[in-house]
Chain A
């Protein structure tokens, strides 16, 4: 189906109806007219035929009366009953002329011709109507249409009475054009007489000019309707047989012109066609107007709908003029829909820019508002500050009291923020427990005062139902223009300041110049670290551990090193912290384990049987699958579990002791040696220490570095060694930097030493070289070499 506009469809329908009805009407009228014309023509002919017959009768009467008078004339009788032929003939001529007869004959009772005005029969001496005599005798006379020598006559055969019948006389009147004309004048029909005799002599008398259809008529039946064309005219004809004997046949054909009959109706036809054409034209115009009246409002509705779809909800759908019809109803429905869409869109927009829980503006709208605010203050000396607020320990609130209470706390906090900010500030909820206040002040000092005041008011106890929850915050502040002039920059710097406050356990921290750069560097490092892990850009350094009990290097601690192609050496303290924060720790640890075990396998092949110590982070203990991974690698490299030592800090174990213990027990079960690293810096209790499945204890280097000079360190280290030994642990001292410390430690029974005095951490190649040349016994000159 092709697309046809509504208007054209209506127009088409309308026109179809009009045309069909017009054509039907016109056809019906024309058909009726034609039928009527034909009926009238037939009726006219039928009437004409009756008139024609009556006229012929009347004429017959007249002829009869004339002829009878003639034959009754005594003088005529006297003359024709005489003996003199020439007298008889002259009397026939004379008296025939009196009544206008065209033919006069006299015959004896026996049918012998006495005299005839027709020359042919006179010469032949033959009475052509002898056959009619018996009938004439029977009837006392007769009247007949006959043909004689190619002409048709109406004849009367009458007796001459003297007073008995003495002879027969024939009085004939030719059927001629004059008769035809008379009949035509009276019947208004065209009259044609046609005859043919046995000698094929024909005659034709007609009021019409000429005829070509002789044969046709001769063969036609009596009283038959004939449609015929003559001289390019259409006629309806009716044939009446005047006489039909074996010798001859004469027909009268009555005709009426159909063309003339139709001509009477042609003006009617023209009128009807004209009226129909006008009606059709008017219908087209009206149809067009109606179609337009329907399609115009529909088009208006269509454009209104398009307007709505493009997001324009203003304006009326339709003018008032269609209020009460279907279009009006549709328009008002559309109007309602438009209103509904506008309302819902407002709502959605509000949701887009506002937080659903607290009703505060959200991060998206915060950015727009900051942009706007910055633009406003661009040409003034005013300062704008972003105060990024974090509710401290909010997670604990959720964990302790449930999310419902947590949400209520957030709502209360938001209400307080809103109440405090009033019209002056704008409060935004950035995320879970993070909020943002947009402050505006004339000077930096103003802003500092404001921040201070706000902080103090926000901190305090919040009443949530029956609960009374203490709340503290960490907030970071960045100030425009001194801390930046871009929205993203200011937002980030406020965040950095907030993190600073958080880590420093402060309520407020202002952004410190450079912090952002550090932050950006950290982001970069995280990204680069991912690449470094993937592309093996990290290297392992090894620092030996000296076992004092056997006076041999038995272990090495594997330490990761990162030489950044642009930033140079990156401290492990820096990037390991970042790896922990950014979730890279598992992959980093696995990289390390993989590398170290690979080196161990190589060394083993070279004949170096050294146990490898690897540091594990607290994050490595979160996952249960690490022991399996390590086990698989050991098997892969054909290494025994004793060739691996895993070092874990106190604090790492304290983060999630149960999980850590679970993982460590697994390693322990696999036969891997476990060591507590950096012992002394954490807060682990001795009871916890007792329950840990460790084998070694590494005293933090902070107690060892200045051991020779610090008495307190000496006391701590000595007692730790003693305590460790009592718990069955092997004691390792880190940070041995001089011979004095070594001697002290050895004296106290420390099992293993690690530190610069023995060796710095070195690359695998360097370490192997160093290892091959290291002679521990050189440290003991007093003892003889073995």
Chain B
């Protein structure tokens, strides 16, 4: 993932800084069935609760007809701002169970952030750009991360169970609870996900081809 906008770059730096703060942290690596590091995986320590959510709204940007980041993780009760960095309008919506909303055609930064008070997965779309797809995972647990291109995640302490979600796991709306017990003695805990990379956005041509077959 190569951030093309300044806010994205800054948020990346912040994450690096935070992770380096815990020197004795519990490190995990998320890989796919081929052993490749997995990007955009939501990794959480499934314990505790959030009494006071972060008052700062999170940012789900729209850059070059894409949601950036592709997967955003927030605390339950936290708000998200959907700025539009493109010079075209977008119509952001969600029909997901935890939060249904829409921000009708707009440019620039909307005035009011949208609060996500229910934990769970929220799929984001743009009504006028079908190819745009983004996810917000509203976490009920205070400790969570989204993996970068290295697939690495760091938790503050070792744990027997970790919650993992990834958009390419088919039909998955709730995080997977992965038992790490067998791996606790190891230096690096590896989480292997079976991913189905979505096919290219369908067009009629491809449909037609399939129909013919």
Residues of B contacting A143 in the complex (Cβ-Cβ under 8 angstroms): 207, 211
Instruction: Type the 1/0 row for A421-462, where 1 means its CB is closer than 8 Å to any CB of B.
Output: 000000000000000000000000000000000000000000
A161 touches B125 (CB 8 A): yes
**Given the complex of chains A and B, what is the CA–CA distance between A139 and B205 in angstroms?**
12
- Nearest-neighbour CB distance to chain B for A479, whole angstroms, equals 142
Asked whether B133 is an interface residue with its Cβ less than 8 Å from the other chain, the reply is yes
Contact of B210 among A78, A139, A163, A166 (CB under 8 A): A139
A64 touches B204 (CB 8 A): yes
Asked whether B177 is an interface residue with its Cβ less than 8 Å from the other chain, the reply is no
**Given the complex of chains A and B, what is the CA–CA distance between A62 and B91 in angstroms?**
27
Contact of B204 among A61, A77, A78 (CB under 8 A): A61
Residues of A contacting B208 in the complex (Cβ-Cβ under 8 angstroms): 57, 60-61, 64
Asked whether A74 is an interface residue with its Cβ less than 8 Å from the other chain, the reply is yes
A164 touches B123 (CB 8 A): yes
Chain B residue nearest to A137 (CB atoms) is B170
**Given the complex of chains A and B, what is the CA–CA distance between A142 and B206 in angstroms?**
11
Instruction: Type the 1/0 row for A32-65, where 1 means its CB is closer than 8 Å to any CB of B.
Output: 0000000000000000000000000100110011
Chain A residue nearest to B130 (CB atoms) is A72
- Nearest-neighbour CB distance to chain B for A159, whole angstroms, equals 9
Asked whether B68 is an interface residue with its Cβ less than 8 Å from the other chain, the reply is no
Asked whether A628 is an interface residue with its Cβ less than 8 Å from the other chain, the reply is no
A74 touches B93 (CB 8 A): yes
Chain B residue nearest to A139 (CB atoms) is B210
Residues of B contacting A72 in the complex (Cβ-Cβ under 8 angstroms): 130
- Nearest-neighbour CB distance to chain A for B206, whole angstroms, equals 8
Residues of A contacting B202 in the complex (Cβ-Cβ under 8 angstroms): 140-141
**Given the complex of chains A and B, what is the CA–CA distance between A275 and B97 in angstroms?**
87
A68 touches B125 (CB 8 A): no
Chain B residue nearest to A109 (CB atoms) is B171
Number of B residues, CB within 8 Å of A? 22
Contact of A140 among B126, B127, B130, B199 (CB under 8 A): B199
- Nearest-neighbour CB distance to chain A for B4, whole angstroms, equals 22
Instruction: Type the 1/0 row for A131-168, where 1 means its CB is closer than 8 Å to any CB of B.
Output: 00000000111110000000000000000011110100
Asked whether A81 is an interface residue with its Cβ less than 8 Å from the other chain, the reply is yes
Q: In the complex where A72-B130, A166-B95 touch, is A141 in contact with B207 (Cβ < 8 A)?
A: yes
Residues of B contacting A142 in the complex (Cβ-Cβ under 8 angstroms): 210-211
Instruction: Type the 1/0 row for B101-142, where 1 means its CB is closer than 8 Å to any CB of A.
Output: 000000000000000000000011111001011000000000
A162 touches B123 (CB 8 A): yes
Instruction: Type the 1/0 row for B58-81, where 1 means its CB is closer than 8 Å to any CB of A.
Output: 000000000000000000000000
Which chain A residues numbered 45 to 103 have a C-beta less than 8 Å away from chain B?
A: 57, 60-61, 64-65, 68, 72, 74, 77-78, 81
Residues of B contacting A109 in the complex (Cβ-Cβ under 8 angstroms): 171
Residues of A contacting B94 in the complex (Cβ-Cβ under 8 angstroms): 162
Which chain A residues numbered 163 to 198 have a C-beta less than 8 Å away from chain B?
A: 163-164, 166
**Given the complex of chains A and B, what is the CA–CA distance between A518 and B206 in angstroms?**
154
Chain B residue nearest to A162 (CB atoms) is B95
Chain B residue nearest to A158 (CB atoms) is B207
Point out which of B124, B127, B199 has the most chain A C-beta atoms below 10 A from its C-beta. B127
Chain B residue nearest to A57 (CB atoms) is B208
Where chain B touches its partner, the secondary structure class is: mixed
Chain B residue nearest to A159 (CB atoms) is B202
Q: In the complex where A60-B211, A142-B211 touch, is A163 in contact with B204 (Cβ < 8 A)?
A: no
Residues of A contacting B132 in the complex (Cβ-Cβ under 8 angstroms): 163
B95 touches A77 (CB 8 A): yes
B95 touches A64 (CB 8 A): no
**Given the complex of chains A and B, what is the CA–CA distance between A477 and B177 in angstroms?**
182
A68 touches B204 (CB 8 A): yes
Contact of B130 among A57, A78, A161 (CB under 8 A): A161
B207 touches A74 (CB 8 A): no
**Given the complex of chains A and B, what is the CA–CA distance between A547 and B70 in angstroms?**
204
**Given the complex of chains A and B, what is the CA–CA distance between A701 and B207 in angstroms?**
174
Q: In the complex where A60-B211, A140-B207, A141-B207 touch, is A163 in contact with B199 (Cβ < 8 A)?
A: no
Residues of A contacting B95 in the complex (Cβ-Cβ under 8 angstroms): 77-78, 81, 162, 166
Q: In the complex where A74-B127, A77-B95, A140-B199 touch, is A64 in contact with B207 (Cβ < 8 A)?
A: yes
**Given the complex of chains A and B, what is the CA–CA distance between A162 and B124 in angstroms?**
8
- Nearest-neighbour CB distance to chain A for B73, whole angstroms, equals 17
Chain A residue nearest to B132 (CB atoms) is A163
- Nearest-neighbour CB distance to chain A for B183, whole angstroms, equals 31
B207 touches A139 (CB 8 A): yes
Point out which of A64, A65, A78, A164 has the most chain B C-beta atoms below 10 A from its C-beta. A164
Residues of B contacting A163 in the complex (Cβ-Cβ under 8 angstroms): 123-126, 130, 132-133
- Nearest-neighbour CB distance to chain B for A757, whole angstroms, equals 173
Chain B residue nearest to A81 (CB atoms) is B95
- Nearest-neighbour CB distance to chain A for B26, whole angstroms, equals 31
Chain B residue nearest to A165 (CB atoms) is B171
Residues of B contacting A64 in the complex (Cβ-Cβ under 8 angstroms): 204, 207-208
Instruction: Type the 1/0 row for B175-188, where 1 means its CB is closer than 8 Å to any CB of A.
Output: 00000000000000
User: Could you list which residues of chain B lie within 8 angstroms of chain A, going by C-beta atoms?
Assistant: 91, 93-96, 123-127, 130, 132-133, 171, 199, 202, 204, 206-208, 210-211
Sort A-B residue pairs by CB-CB distance and give the 5 closest, nearest first.
A163-B125, A162-B95, A139-B210, A140-B202, A143-B211
A-B contact pairs, 11 of them (CB 8 A): A60-B211, A64-B207, A68-B204, A78-B95, A140-B206, A141-B202, A142-B211, A162-B93, A162-B94, A163-B126, A163-B132
List 14 additional contacts besides A77-B95, A162-B93; criterion CB under 8 Å. Answer: A68-B204, A74-B93, A74-B127, A78-B95, A109-B171, A139-B211, A140-B206, A143-B211, A161-B125, A162-B94, A162-B96, A163-B125, A163-B133, A166-B95
